[in-house]
Amino acid sequence: MVNDGGYVVFVQPATPYLLKKRPERFKHLMAMRDNIKKWYTTVNIISPTEYNFNAWIYDILAITVLHKVPASETVQTVVYRHQGKRTLYHDVALSKLSMHGDAPELVSGIMKKYENMVKQCGSISDIIDKNSDMSHLCRLGKIRGNIRWDSNDTTLSYHKDDFYTMVGKSADRHVYRSEDFNKGLSIYANSFDSATNVYNYLSTKLARFGLSFYKAAMSNQSGATGLIPLVDFAHSWNDEELCSLFDIDEAEWTFIDGFISDFY
C-alpha cells in the first residue's frame, strides 16, 4: 500500500519492540517485526511519564516512522524518552530492545545469562503448582504491583516498588502445610526451612530482575516467572551469592541494583 521510498508513521503500545514472552503467538506482531527488520525504521519509545492523555491509559508507547527503503535487520534509530531524558541509539537489533529502557546491549547480555541458567537448571515456572506431595508450600501473589501515577517520580522504573515482586513483606509470608492449602500460585517444599528459603530467594533483586523480562502487566501468571532461574532451596541465597552463580559482573549488578527497588 506504500510506494517504495514512502513513509508510514504510527503510534501504538510498544509491544512489537518489547514483548519477550513467546511473541510468535501473535501473527500480526510477527508481521510487523518482519517489516521493521526489512525497512528503514526509526522509533521513539516513550515512558508513560512523558505523556498526559485525558484518558485512563498507562503504557509504554512507540512512535514508529517506517521508511520503505531496504535496511539491515536492525532498528536504525531508537530513542528512549523517560523522565525528560532522551537517550539515542543506532542500529539496534530488535531482540535487544526491552522493558528496561536504555542500555540495550547491557540488558541483552544479562538476559542471555539468565537464559543460560534456565537452560541448565530450569525456571521457577517449572515448579509452580508441581510436587504437591511435598509437606509445605509457599503462596505467591497472582496479582502483584502497581504503576506510578506521579510524573515527578525520578526512579528508573515507572512501576512502584512492589511491581517486580512475587511475595509480600516478611510479616505477610506464611509457610503452609500442603494438606491445608493447595490451590493457586504455589511452590511446594519438603521442609519449613526450604519453604522459607523460597521466600528469601524470590525477594532478592536477582530473582526479581528475572521476573522483569517477561512481566509486562500486574499478573504473575501465564509464564511471567519463566526467566527466574531455579536454585537449590536447601540454601538461603543472597544477591552477592547469586551474582556469582549467575555470572553477573559489576556493571550488570549496578544496572540491576538501580532498576529493581529495594524490597518495599
Which pLDDT belongs to residue 61? 87
> If you average pLDDT over residues 227-256, what whole number do you get?
97
Which pLDDT belongs to residue 59? 74
Using DSSP bridges, classify how beta strands 61-70 and 39-46 pair: parallel, antiparallel or unpaired: antiparallel
Rounded to whole angstroms, how far apart are CA atoms 60 and 149? 13
Q: Where are the domains of the chain?
A: 7-97, 116-259
Rounded to whole angstroms, how far apart are CA atoms 83 and 88? 15
Closest to 148 (Cα-Cα) out of 60, 221, 209: 60
The pTM assigned to this predicted structure is 0.87
Amino acid 197 reads N
* 69-125 pLDDT tens trace: 999 889 999 998 876 788 999 999 999 998 887 789 999 999 999 999 999 999 999
Q: Residues with Cβ < 8 Å from 235, sequence gap 6 or more? A: 197
* 168-209 pLDDT tens trace: 887 567 777 766 665 678 899 999 999 999 999 999 999 999
Rounded to whole angstroms, how far apart are CA atoms 16 and 28? 9
Phi-psi region of 207 (alpha: psi -120 to 50; beta: other; left: phi over 0): alpha
Decide: 178 and 138 in contact? Cβ < 8 Å.
no
* 120-156 pLDDT tens trace: 999 999 999 888 788 888 889 998 887 655 555 544 4
Amino acid 260 reads I
Rounded to whole angstroms, how far apart are CA atoms 135 and 193? 11
Strand partners, 41: 66
Alpha helix positions (H), 62-149 = 104-121
